[in-house]
Amino acid sequence: MCIKLFFILMFTISSFNLSTAYSQEREINYDEYKVSPYSLPPLLTSNGGSVINNINDWEIFRKPEILNSFLHQVYGRIPGELDTMLVKVEEQGTYLNGAANRMQVTLTFIKDDKKHNANLLIYLPSNKKKSPVFIGYNFQGNHTIAEDENIFITKSWVPVNKAIRVEANTAVEQSRGTMSGRWPLELIIESGYGVVTLYRGDIDPDKNDFTDGVHRLFYSEGDTRPNSDEWGTIAAWSWGLSRVMDYLETIDEIETDKVIIMGHSRLGKAALWAAAIDNRFAASISNNSGAMGAAISRRKFGETVEVINTSFPHWFCNNFKIYSNYEHLLPVDQHMLIALIAPRPVYIASATEDMWADPKGEFLSAKEASIIYNMYGIQGLSSISMPKPDTPLIGEVSYHLRTGKHDITKYDWEQYINFAKFNNIK
């Protein structure tokens, strides 16, 4: 009880003048020698102290405990279910000189007479009757991922991004294809895979406002924000991916048991959580996802819980805010998130210049989660130490450290395709 009251008091004090407290520059640790010793929550010891030593006990006892902790203390639970989801195919055509078939689809989510739309962009190889696919969000709108004049320009709120000519919060024609480097469609299609993508802001705009995304569908009268243990934006994005999966299961041209979920940066955080709570995804790929994605939180290296809760207070549930600068009191850490995906394949990727995302912490998380993969009779990560840059470890649990900055590149995609084929998702 005293500990609980302490947390409530700390949360009240920190929330009282949060913006002022964090207006000052905070020191971020990028020095490995400054990482304090820490102990990870055990994967194979239950909350009651019982030792877990077989798959059955993991599945029945320990895994639900971990999932419940993430739900109520980190990502937030979903407060209900949709009444229905409507589907409308808006446009169909071809791309890459006929090598790919394009489809644009509107999903309409309906709950208690409230509606919300999200727009999908789908490319499938035209020479296959059924295709495995990569599914993931894009950052600035479907029209930015390809030089394809037929893609609709998003009508949702978009963040200002002068690099792609977005000066206000409205998408513009000039940004068409400006982020195509993150989606090498020709490579993916030639490799036999399709792409399913949607703009993150179609599910929930990435800002501290819960009135213009899918959250509002589930509000009772007078509500303007989720309750303390209910979903933030990361969980909403994960929920959206599951709703897309609901639709994909109805498409004959897609091999629905071979849908690989992929995300970069904050969308990598969402991809891991989506795979953890939805077993229909065949594999999960986290590209530079960092804190509360793949990296160990207790290391407090680069991005931290405190930084996230200050800069992006909408990403996680309100309960999570009490752990700002108190990572050691979290009942979970991110190796447990990856373990929840087992025995399905998972790929964690880092970049040498992306210290913000803590490459070592991402590697260690995959290494620790390998304990659960081993329990399933799967090798897990094939190295006990970080590999040299650009020497990927491909297996059921995969990892690479790419030379370069925080981004997703053609090199990354080449490894993800190799990973998919290695795991017979082809």
Given 131, 191, 238, 265, the catalytic residue: 265
Q: Give yes or no for a contact between 322 and 10, defined as CB atoms under 8 angstroms apart.
A: yes
To the query of whether residue 72 is one of the catalytic residues in this protein, the response is: no
List 46, 180, 228, 406, catalytic entry:
406
For the question of residue 46 being annotated catalytic, the response is: no
Cite the active site residues: 265, 406
